[in-house]
Structure 1
Amino acid sequence: MIKIAVCDDDDNMILELKNKISGYMNETSYKAEIHSFSCAEDLLKSDIIFDIVFLDIQMGSMTGMEAAKRFRQSGSECFLIFVTVLKEYVYDAFSVEASDYLLKPLNSQRFLSTMNRIIHYVEDKKTSVLTIQKGCWCKSIRFADILYCEAINRKIYVHTKQEIIDYYFRINELEKQLESDFFCCHRSYLVNLHAVCGYENGQAKLVNGENIPVSRLRRQEFMEAMLNYMKKGDR
């Protein structure tokens, strides 16, 4: 499900954008949630993690450009698309890593081209992250940032380069969500082969200095997986 925000102080523009987005989704068979906001302040208060945000620039007390800066300061990696009548802010859009800059009135062909490009990136991004949900809390973690996952009792502990995140889940279900570069080296461990720098005495050595167990039954398969991964990296 792609989550999209439309923020504009013009109700007619909100309606036009929602109709264009809905039409695009229907034609391409993607599924999307579209949320509308009439001011930047309400958009920033939302606890929804948006994939795409359409932003007007001239709005009330807070401009769309200021809202975009706050998104980036908070660590948001959403795709920002400015929709405005103001041509002069196009260069400022680079400072907030905007994905596009559409001028009003909207050109249908340009809108289609933008959506095709952005949706492609969104889909790639979604397939390269692990999304963890704990009650009302939700976070997406890039596969590349995960070192290994450990199962203790009914909880999974995701060890990343920055932190350890725990949540209730089953390791066999988690394995289905991860990429092929993750290997189940032990019934309680899934390791990212990218983080493995060696193997010794039944232990996988990781780039951060940690060691994790490799079960005797999976030792040969683990060694083969390591070699195949290294060969793939040499291509």
Structure 2
Amino acid sequence: MIRIAICDDDSNMIGELKDKLITYMDEKHQRAQIRSFSSGEDLLSSDESFDIVFLDIQMTGMNGMEAARRLRQSGSESFFVFVSILKEYVYDAFSVEASGFLLKPLDDCRFRATLDRLLRSIQNQQSSILTVQKGTWCKSIPFVDILYCEAINRKIFVHTKQEVIDYYFKMKELEKKLTPDFFCCHRSYLVNLRAVCGYEKGLAKLSNGENLPVSRLRQQEFMEAMLTYMKKGDK
């Protein structure tokens, strides 16, 4: 069961998204539960958790970006997909780890491509883990929980949302184990692009307030990787 929320103050857009979602899920033989909210305040007041949240950015009262920010602060791991008539908001979406951005009027191919990607992510989330072993001790860490990995001497320090775990391993070998959503921004750092909320003056700004150095030779590639991560739904 995929749990989906639609938050938009335009009832026509809610209806259009619902119809598209029902058609898509029926074709994929995937069960889905869809809930709609007419404001950011209504969404935040719900005690339900969702796998995917479609958010209109411009709404009366609390806008979609602020609603998403508050959900992240409360610990939400939902996939956020913003819907807007203004494409310049795509860069703001980095700050709340958005997984998609759709322009109004909705393009059916882009909509379906976004859902294809998110459905794969949800289905693979449980198996997408990094196994860390230290002697007889072993721990599995979901990729979504990893902010970045740091290499110091012969050790790897895995910085997660909850803790820092260290073990002996090689950065090059670790890079092979992670998904393309992890980028080697510096010889000592592998960052989860999901955790990046901005970039300024050679530093990748993370959602937890930390900054990581981006080597000068990798700055352009890093920017391209960030944009590619955000635009996956276009493919």
Question: Residue in 2 aligned with 1:10?
Answer: 10
Question: Residue in 2 aligned with 1:184?
Answer: none
Q: How many residues align?
A: 144
Distance 1:195 1:21, change over 3 A: same
Amino acid at match of 2:20: K
Deviation at 1:110, TM superposition (A): 0.6
Amino acid at match of 2:51: D
The secondary structure found in structure 2 opposite 1:121 is helix
Question: Residue in 2 aligned with 1:46?
Answer: 46
Deviation at 1:124, TM superposition (A): 1.2
Asked if 1:110 corresponds to 2:110, the answer is: yes
**Structure 1: distance between partners of 2:127 and 2:45:** 27
Question: Residue in 2 aligned with 1:76?
Answer: 76
Distance 1:206 1:117, change over 3 A: closer
Asked if 1:92 corresponds to 2:92, the answer is: yes
Asked if 1:20 corresponds to 2:20, the answer is: yes
* Aligned structure 1 segments of 4 or more residues deviating by more than 4 angstroms: 193-196
Larger Rg: 1
Amino acid at match of 1:85: I
Deviation at 1:86, TM superposition (A): 1.7
Deviation at 1:95, TM superposition (A): 1.0
Percent of paired sites with the same residue: 56
Asked if 1:197 corresponds to 2:135, the answer is: yes
**Structure 1: distance between partners of 2:124 and 2:32:** 16
Question: Residue in 2 aligned with 1:37?
Answer: 37
The secondary structure found in structure 2 opposite 1:122 is helix
Deviation at 1:197, TM superposition (A): 2.6
Deviation at 1:206, TM superposition (A): 6.6
Amino acid at match of 2:72: R
**Structure 1: distance between partners of 2:90 and 2:134:** 44
Amino acid at match of 1:107: D
Deviation at 1:48, TM superposition (A): 1.1
Alignment of 1:169-184 (within 5 A): none
Alignment of 1:92-171 (within 5 A): 92-125=92-125, 127-128=126-127
Q: TM-score, normalised by structure 2?
A: 0.56
Quote the RMSD (CA, aligned, Å): 2.6
Asked if 1:65 corresponds to 2:65, the answer is: yes
The secondary structure found in structure 1 opposite 2:30 is coil
**Structure 1: distance between partners of 2:35 and 2:14:** 10
Amino acid at match of 1:116: D
Q: Deviations over 1:78-133 (max 9, x none)?
A: 100001112221110111111111000000011011110111001112x349xxxx
Deviation at 1:47, TM superposition (A): 1.1
Q: TM-score, normalised by structure 1?
A: 0.56
Distance 1:24 1:92, change over 3 A: same
The secondary structure found in structure 2 opposite 1:35 is strand
**Structure 2: distance between partners of 1:9 and 1:70:** 18
Q: Deviations over 1:47-77 (max 9, x none)?
A: 1110000000111110000001111111111
The secondary structure found in structure 2 opposite 1:114 is helix
Question: Residue in 2 aligned with 1:177?
Answer: none
**Structure 1: distance between partners of 2:97 and 2:138:** 33
**Structure 2: distance between partners of 1:103 and 1:54:** 12
Ranges in structure 1 where 5+ consecutive residues have no aligned partner = 130-142, 145-192, 199-204, 208-232
**Structure 2: distance between partners of 1:49 and 1:83:** 20
Task: Tell which has more relative contact order, 1 or 2 (C-alpha 8 A, sep 6+).
Answer: 2
The secondary structure found in structure 2 opposite 1:94 is helix
